[in-house]
Chains A and B, each alone.
Chain A
Amino acid sequence: MDLIICAICVICEYMPPTDRELLNACREGDESSWEVLVDRYQRLIYAIPRRAGLSEDQASEVFQEVFATLLQKLNDITDPDRLHAWLVTTARRKTWRLLSRERLRRTSSTDEDDRDDELAAVADTAPLPDETLVRLEEQHRIRAALHALDERCRKLLTLLYYRPEPPSYAEIATAFGTSEGSIGPTRARCLKKMLQLLQE
C-alpha cells in the first residue's frame, strides 16, 4: 500500500509557482505570493551577508534592504525569470556597501559629506568568494527541488541528508510505518525525481 501511495505521489507532483508567476502575482497585489517569495529566498539572501562575515544584525539590515528594494522595483524588473540573479546581485552589492562603510568607519574620521566619495574609492575586495556563492546557490536550488517533492519524499530526504546524525533505516521505517526494506528503493526514487527537477 505504501509503495502504491508513494508511486502516485511521485507522479502527481506539486509544482510550486515559478518566480515569474510569483512576481506577476505580487504586481497584482497578491500578498500570499510575496510571502512565498520571501520564504523561498530568505535563506539564500540571509546567507550572503553572513558568509561575507557580517554579524546577524548587519545581515538582517542587508536582508531588509534587499526585499525593500524588491518591493520598490516590483514593476521595474524586466525579466522576472532572472529574479534569482537580481536578488543575489542586490544582496551582494548591499553587503559590499555595508562592509565598505564599516571599513571606512573604522579607518576614517573625515566628515560624513566626504564619505560617498571615499566609498566609491574603496576597492571591491570580493567579500564573498565566487565558489562560496556558487555553492550557496546550488544548495538553494536543491532545497527548492526538495520543496517541490511530495511530502513523503521531502521528509525522507530531509531525515537522511539534512540531519547531522541521520536515523537508521530501521528507525525511519518505524516512523513511516513501513518496512525497512522499502526505505532504500523509496530513497532512490525520491533522489531520481529530485535530479529530474534539478535538470528541468
Chain B
Amino acid sequence: MNIFSPHINFTELADVADEKSKPAAETLEHLAACARCAGALQALKQTIGLMQSDDVEDAPANLIKYTKNMFTGRSASREPSRLARLLASLTFDSLTAKPAFGLRSGASVGRQLIFSTEMADIDLRVSPQSGEWEIAGQILGSSQSGGKVNLQSESFSASADLNELAEFGFQSVPSGIYTMFVQLPELEIEIPPLQLGH
C-alpha cells in the first residue's frame, strides 16, 4: 500500500501472486477486506497459472508453411476471368492413419485421395513408381467436357489433358511439394498442397 491509495500496489500484488515472498499480515488483512484487490490478485494468479501450464505445442513448421502457401497458390492463380474458382478440400483418404498431406516414399501400395468442392470431386490415386510417383485421377460430378490438369512444384511442372472420361495421369513425378490446378471450361479447382515423398 502507499500513501496515495488505500489499495495494494500492483508490484506487491504480483509478488503475492508469484509467491515471491510471504505477504505481510497487513497485506493479508487488506486482501480479506478489499474485493478490488482480491479480484486483481485472483486475475493475476489465474493468468500466471495459465501461462505456466501452457504446454500447447506449435503445429509442425512444414504444415504451417503449406497452409500459408494455400493462399499463395490461390493468389497466383488469379487472373481476370469469368471462371469460377474453387478450392477443394480433402474428404477421403484411403490411409487415414497416414498423413493427409504427405506420402512417404516408403509406401509400397497406392493411395486414394478424394478432394471435394461444391461442383465437382477429384479422385486421385497416387502410387510409388521406381523411386518416383505415378498420379492417376478423374474429375467426378462435372458435366463440362474437356480441360486439363496442371501439376507444379518448385522443380517440376507438367500438364495433362482430360480424356472423354475426365481422366488424367502423370508418370515419373519426382518427390516434392505440389500444387495442382484442374482447369475446366468454366471452372478452375485448386487442390491443397500435396507432398510426395519426404
Using a CB–CB distance below 8 Å, which chain A residues touch chain B?
Answer: 26, 29, 31, 34-35, 38-39, 42-47, 50, 55-61, 63-65, 67-69, 71-72, 98, 101-102, 105, 135-136, 138-139, 142-143, 146, 157, 161-162, 184-185, 187-189, 191-192, 194-195, 198
Contacts and interface: CB of A to CB of B under 8 A. Distances in A.
Contacts of B86: 72
B83 interface: no
Contacts of A64: 63, 66-67, 90, 100-101, 192
A58 B44 CA distance: 36
Contact of B89 (A56, A72, A146): A72
B170 to A, nearest CB: 22
B15 interface: yes
Interface stretch (B51-59, B138-146, B151-159): B51-59
A56 B60 contact: yes
Interface of B: 10-11, 13-15, 18, 20, 40, 43-44, 47-48, 50-54, 56-60, 63-64, 66-68, 70-72, 74-75, 78, 86-90, 93, 96-102, 117, 192
Contacts of A29: 75, 78
16 contacts: A35-B71, A39-B64, A42-B58, A42-B67, A43-B58, A57-B100, A60-B100, A64-B63, A64-B67, A64-B90, A68-B192, A102-B97, A146-B51, A162-B52, A184-B14, A195-B40
A189 B44 CA distance: 12
Nearest to A145: B47
B70 A68 contact: yes
A163 to B, nearest CB: 9
Contacts of B57: 43, 46-47, 50
A45 B10 contact: no
A56 B55 CA distance: 15
B51 A142 contact: yes
B120 to A, nearest CB: 14
User: Which 9 A-B pairs give the minimum distances between C-beta atoms?
Assistant: A61-B100, A46-B59, A161-B51, A57-B99, A188-B11, A34-B71, A188-B14, A42-B59, A68-B89
Contacts of B50: 135, 138-139, 142
